[in-house]
Structure 1
Amino acid sequence: MNDSEIKYEKRLVAFIDILGFKEIVKQSEKDISKIELIYSVLDYLKNWEAQEKWDLRLVEIEGDAQKRGVENFDIRGKTNITAFSDSIVVSVKVDNNINEMASTLIVHLAYIGAILLEKGILFRGGLTVGNLIHIENGIVFGQGLIDSYKLESKSAKYPRIILSDKLLKELNYPIETKRNSYPYHQYVDRFEDGCVGFHQMIYYQAIQSWEEMTKEKLIESLSIVRKVIVKGLDTTFENPDVYEKYKWLKEQYNKLIILEDSDYETKTYENIKLKIRELNENIAGQNIHYSYTDNFYESEWKKSE
């Protein structure tokens, strides 16, 4: 590309920060498993530089996308990603199709976040729209990047990606009627502190009816995520800021609407998501570990199966 061809483009811009990355690097000097974790995470993110990764599999299952023409949600050839240390920048070129492009980007970011969470990795980010130069060789700059970084660092606070006011004004959000909905409406919500966005666990709620998401796979993934959160709650005795992040995740996990598996003929129901209980909830004693409470209820849950 010649210098004369380089110009700002209107792009969706997501700036994402991997939380606790510096601590994991520090631990890796004494724990080889942390080196393997860092490598696997960075290698996984590196693979997303390939355009074919941003396909339509996670969007074409949505009725809203089918009604509007799934091909209109294709962001391949319009997406760039740059990963450096503990930060990731993803951008998508948009014209008058911002709702479609935002849908596919948000669905994929939630999916990526879910995979990372199952590895024990939390992320936080900001998503906006603005002028940006983002080239395949990794060069990225522009007001869109500055705005998304500020959103992540100053407003996101918890493990979630929040949307800027500027972006929300261009999106069809909030929806007034069902016919005006897009796939991203299943992911985005307004949180108690006023911010609008999504967290990485929302993927499981939105995708649970997908034929590739079997009941067994969903149960396994939710169990892994629950254990990650419980472990996080129990390893932060001297860091209230980190504890608050895991406590927030615990609340969001418990809010997930996961449909029970049912058998119509026998009228039996199986809850496939085990709640994260309060510390020592209905258990005698004053144990300081959430894992103690979680293990107690997990054993009771398994007995009832």
Structure 2
Amino acid sequence: MAYERRIIGFIDILGFGQLVLDSEDDSEKFDLIKGVLEKINSVDDILGSPEDFFAHSNYAYLSPEAKKEMDELHESMKAAAGPKRVRITTFSDSIVFSCSADSDGLTDFRYFLTKLLVYISPFKLLIRGGITCGSLVHTDELIFGPAMNNAYFLESKVAKYPRIVVSGKFESFIEELGKDTLTDLVKQELIRTDNETISYVDCLALTTNKVAQNMCGANAYEMLLNEKSTIEALIKDAPEDPTVASKLKWYVKYFNDFLMRKSEVEVLLSHVQGVPLETAMIPVSELRVRIP
């Protein structure tokens, strides 16, 4: 066993600890926790299931014989990918995922993060996290290394708000890969504010992109509606705690800023045998939330 150079994300679900404490006497909160964890544990990387991976190859409409062939192809692809696939460890309210630090790994990493964000969206919970690149051991039994420590530090000490910050090591890794469609996309999905040296992931851009729509079945407008509902519910139930208030205020500003930048999102209206047929651009500016 030796260290590998890997991309790693450490994600924490905010408020989950209190949910667990409350769930002992509240069956609704118990069911919520169960639902969240089941959804998280069902998140897979880009190979996913045959239904996901071949979603736009008319998989759902194939004959049993043709599906069998596609299933066998899918299994062979998974076997070939082997160690390069996303490795996932969950414990309590945290999710750690990593993959090889190369172009294929970045593709899988981006897809996994998109799917995770889409899956968590309906539960009215916010997340905070850190992403870095470095030396790591990540197996089914073990996870440790400087990159793990760095990712945890970013989440717990640097992020501060409901956002996923990225380290300079991750940004350097993107530069090493060179200029292509994937690295350009990833750079566009990072935000660096004028008064900070840290970058963070534009999570709403991920949940409303083509990957979220085509491979996760996400509706971009519904994703933003979910976020608006989440924010308003959290504002309504927020305790009289200035720390909580500052986090919510930050997230409301990020949400409203995204709506100003995006102005409208593309939504799939119809498809034929899994292939997109008709889409429409839906305005989103009316979803703005008043800053508390």
Pairwise same-fold verdict (TM > 0.5): yes
Match of 2:286 among 267, 274, 280: 274
What is the match of residue 191 of structure 1? 193
Q: How far apart are 1:270 and its partner, in Å?
A: 5.3
Check if 1:155 corresponds to 2:158: yes
Q: Please give the alpha-carbon distance, in whole angstroms, between the structure 1 residues aligned to 2:157 and 2:10.
A: 12
TM-score norm. by structure 1 comes to 0.70
Give unmatched runs, 5+ long, in structure 2: 57-76, 268-279
Q: How far apart are 1:235 and its partner, in Å?
A: 1.7
Q: How far apart are 1:157 and its partner, in Å?
A: 1.0
Q: Please give the alpha-carbon distance, in whole angstroms, between the structure 1 residues aligned to 2:266 and 2:186.
A: 25
What is the identity, as a one-letter code, of the residue corresponding to 1:87?
A: S
> SS of the counterpart of 2:99?
strand
What is the match of residue 264 of structure 2? 259
What is the match of residue 43 of structure 2? 48
Match of 1:86 among 93, 98, 104: 93
Q: How far apart are 1:167 and its partner, in Å?
A: 1.8
What is the match of residue 64 of structure 1? none
The 5 A counterparts of 1:3-152 are 6-48=1-43, 52-53=47-48, 77-78=83-84, 79-94=86-101, 97=102, 99-137=103-141, 139-152=142-155
Q: Would you say the 8 A contact 2:13–2:128 is kept in 1?
A: yes
Give unmatched runs, 5+ long, in structure 1: 1-5, 61-70, 263-267, 280-289, 291-305
Q: Please give the alpha-carbon distance, in whole angstroms, between the structure 2 residues aligned to 1:168 and 1:16.
A: 18
Q: Please give the alpha-carbon distance, in whole angstroms, between the structure 2 residues aligned to 1:155 and 1:247.
A: 17
Q: How far apart are 1:210 and its partner, in Å?
A: 4.7
The 5 A counterparts of 1:279-298 are none
What is the identity, as a one-letter code, of the residue corresponding to 1:194?
A: T
What is the match of residue 172 of structure 1? 175
| Higher relative strand content | 2
Deviations 1:79-125 (A, max 9, x none): 2111011111111122xx2x452243134213312321321121111
Report how many aligned residue pairs link the two structures: 251
Q: Would you say the 8 A contact 2:136–2:144 is kept in 1?
A: yes
Q: Would you say the 8 A contact 2:114–2:212 is kept in 1?
A: no
Q: Would you say the 8 A contact 2:87–2:139 is kept in 1?
A: yes
- In structure 2, relative to structure 1, the CA distance for the partners of 1:190 and 1:173 (3 Å cut) is farther
Deviations 1:62-87 (A, max 9, x none): xxxxxxxxx9xx97642211101111
Q: Would you say the 8 A contact 2:208–2:220 is kept in 1?
A: no
TM-score norm. by structure 2 comes to 0.72
Question: Looking at CA atoms only, which structure, 1 or 2, has the larger radius of gyration?
Answer: 1
Q: Would you say the 8 A contact 1:222–1:273 is kept in 2?
A: no
